[in-house]
Amino acid sequence: MTLLLDRVTFSYHRWLRPVLSRFTYEVPGEGLTILLGPNGAGKSTTMALLAGTVAPRAGRVLFSGTDLTSASRGYRRHVAWLPQRVPSSRQLTAREYVAYVAWLKGESRSRAWERAGAALDQVGLTEQAGRKTARLSGGQLRRVGIACALAHDARVILLDEPTAGLDPHQRTVFRDVLREVAAKTPVLMSTHDIADLADEADTVTLMDGGRILHHGGTRSFLDHARPDAAPARRAESAYAVLMRLDGSQ
Ligand SMILES: Nc1ncnc2c1ncn2[C@@H]1O[C@H](COP(=O)(O)OP(=O)(O)OP(=O)(O)O)[C@@H](O)[C@H]1O
């Protein structure tokens, strides 16, 4: 699997300045990649382009060499996508919601139902499986969204801030799930939880202002930390140094 933004230019409106301009980025083909950057850096935009939910104004989005503009329907089955805001439904229970997404992604009805139960169990929501999603808390709804991303056999998983709004215990549960999932399927995940997740990641991408400031193995990212940074603060320090926030450059 290769997933690549090739010299992509994108703006939300024709008259607005592009968020990304001739932007090239390839999602690593294995393991967990975390996408870091300040608010407004372009992370969600990058992920939405990779998920095929928005189209570039120029350039190409290539999945294993095929341009998405000509193959979007088929492509969406291969990509699992957790958007930043998970819409709730008044009608559907958590299990129905996850099963519906799995069915849309090409699973048979019975398999989608089965997978939905297993995915909700993975994210610790079995007890809420029968509740309408509109009646869940923000963190629970986020976990329903994560379950949707896990409930079908995707070839790449894109998670936009999956840990936002999760309580500390659920973050730990999520980390365990993530480790298991990323061992089999490449995962690209945007996050502000650097300290929590840098240790788990194989690759770290840091972007700002629609540009990549760092892309490489986690160790090479952490090497940017100040030498006096405490071990538990190395990721935060590396981020500050690369973003030139620490006053040292
Ligand atoms: N729907 C929209 N309409 C117009 N501009 C938008 C829209 N969504 C995002 N933008 C702009 O695009 C730029 C990149 O936003 P994006 O959401 O991709 O950043 P981000 O790195 O995901 O930020 P955050 O960490 O806050 O989620 C920002 O300047 C933002 O204001």
Q: Whose CA is nearest to atom 26 of ligand 1?
A: 39
Q: Is 145 exposed, middle or buried (0-12, 13-18, 19+ CB in 10 A)?
A: buried
Place of tokens 């009805």: 109
* Distance in Å, CA 39 to ligand 1 centroid: 8
The secondary element (H helix, E strand) that includes residue 24 is strand 20-27
CB of 43 sitting under 6 A from ligand 1? yes
Substitution site in 39, 57, 82, 190 for ligand 1 pocket (most atoms within 8 Å of beta carbon):
39
User: What does residue 207 show for φ and ψ, rounded to 5 degrees?
Assistant: -130, 155
Q: What is the pLDDT of residue 49?
A: 94
Q: For the chain, what is the largest distance between any 2 Cα atoms, rounded to a whole number of angstroms?
A: 58
Q: What is the pLDDT of residues 52-71, one digit of tens each?
A: 889 999 999 999 888 887 66
- Phi/psi of residue 101, nearest 5 degrees: -65, -45
Q: Is the backbone of residue 21 left (phi > 0), alpha (psi -120 to 50) or beta?
A: beta
- Residue-wise pLDDT for 126-179, tens only, equals 999 999 999 999 999 999 999 999 999 899 999 999 999 889 998 888 888 899
Q: Which residue's alpha carbon is at the smallest distance from atom 6 of ligand 1? A: 12
pLDDT digits over 167-226, tens only? 999 888 888 889 999 999 999 999 998 876 777 899 999 999 999 999 999 999 999 999
Task: Give the residue extent of every domain in the chain.
Answer: 3-242
Determine if ligand 1 sits within 6 Å of the CB of residue 74.
Answer: no
| Total residues found in the chain within this entry | 249
Is any atom of ligand 1 closer than 6 Å to the C-beta of 42?
yes
For residue 12 and ligand 1, the question of a CB distance below 6 A is answered with yes
Parallel, antiparallel, or unpaired for β 3-10 and 58-63? antiparallel
Is the CB of residue 41 below 6 angstroms from any atom belonging to ligand 1? yes
pLDDT of 195 reads: 73
DSSP 3-state of 84: coil
* Distance (Å) from CA 68 to ligand 1 centroid: 22
pLDDT class of 72 with cuts at 50, 70, 90: low
Looking from the CA of residue 207, the nearest atom of ligand 1 is: 21
Pick the CATH number of 3-242 from 3.30.450.20, 3.30.70.1450, 1.10.1660.10, 3.40.50.300: 3.40.50.300
